[in-house]
């Protein structure tokens, strides 16, 4: 865990169990397991995170740091590769730059390409005759022949 979060935890009066939870969560990304190992109930941790507490502030700060870590985030890994590509370009290593571009393309294949979803709305008109002369005890179903259903 970053030293900044540990220092803030001590300054913000976060309990030792909560700090241990943050350490374990950063290592494993297992919310329930980290809570249990730290001696906390997962439901209590969740409740605490929903409120504006010092613990919740540290948790969300840790989450932001994890989002930037390329080990846990595809965007971070692509950003790191983009930086390496620029270094290879500056060093005139065209072959290395090309290989890095290939890796970037493998990672983003299908993620940046636009997806086209077609939603087709079909309106059905159902018409029929309800026979009100039959006794009330019969099931309330309407029988409509298939040929009477029209598709507009």
Q: Does any domain span residue 45?
A: yes
Quote the CA–CA distance of 18 and 67 in Å, as a whole number.
21
Q: Is 60 exposed, middle or buried (0-12, 13-18, 19+ CB in 10 A)?
A: exposed
Cβ-Cβ contacts under 8 Å for 25 (sequence gap 6 or more): 31, 34, 59, 62
Quote the CA–CA distance of 64 and 28 in Å, as a whole number.
16
Q: Does any domain span residue 54?
A: yes
Two tokens, residue 130: 């309800």
Total number of domains in the chain: 1
Q: Does any domain span residue 91?
A: no
- Which residues in the chain land under pLDDT 70? 1-5, 7, 9, 11, 67-76, 109-119, 135-152
Two tokens, residue 98: 């090309």
Q: Does any domain span residue 93?
A: no
Q: Does any domain span residue 138?
A: no
Q: Does any domain span residue 64?
A: yes
Two tokens, residue 122: 């079909």
- Report if pTM > 0.85: no
Q: What are the respective helix, strand and coil percentages of the chain, to the nearest 5?
A: 60, 5, 40
Contact between 108 and 82 under an 8 Å Cβ cutoff? The reply is: no
Q: Does any domain span residue 16?
A: yes
Q: Does any domain span residue 152?
A: no
pLDDT digits (tens, 9 = 90+) for 17-59: 888 888 888 888 788 888 999 999 988 888 888 888 888 888 8
Quote the CA–CA distance of 63 and 26 in Å, as a whole number.
9
Quote the CA–CA distance of 22 and 31 in Å, as a whole number.
9
Q: What is the pLDDT of residue 5?
A: 67
Question: Which residues are 125's β-sheet partners?
Answer: 150
User: Can you give the residue range of the structural domain that contains 56?
Assistant: 3-68
Q: What is the pLDDT of residue 117?
A: 58
Quote the CA–CA distance of 39 and 58 in Å, as a whole number.
18
């Amino acid at each position: 865990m970053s030293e900044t979060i540990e220092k803030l935890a001590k300054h913000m009066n976060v309990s030792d169990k909560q700090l241990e939870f943050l350490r374990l969560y950063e290592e494993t990304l297992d919310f329930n397991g980290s809570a249990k190992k730290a001696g906390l109930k997962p439901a209590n941790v969740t409740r605490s995170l929903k409120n504006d507490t010092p613990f919740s502030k540290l948790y969300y700060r840790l989450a932001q740091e994890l989002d930037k870590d390329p080990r846990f985030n595809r965007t971070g890994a692509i950003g790191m590769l983009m930086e390496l590509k620029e270094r290879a370009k500056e060093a005139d290593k065209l072959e290395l730059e090309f290989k890095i571009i290939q890796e970037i393309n493998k990672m983003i294949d299908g993620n940046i390409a636009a997806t086209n979803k077609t939603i087709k709305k079909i309106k059905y008109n159902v018409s029929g005759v309800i026979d009100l002369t039959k006794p009330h005890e019969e099931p309330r179903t309407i029988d409509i022949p298939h040929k009477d259903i029209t598709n507009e």
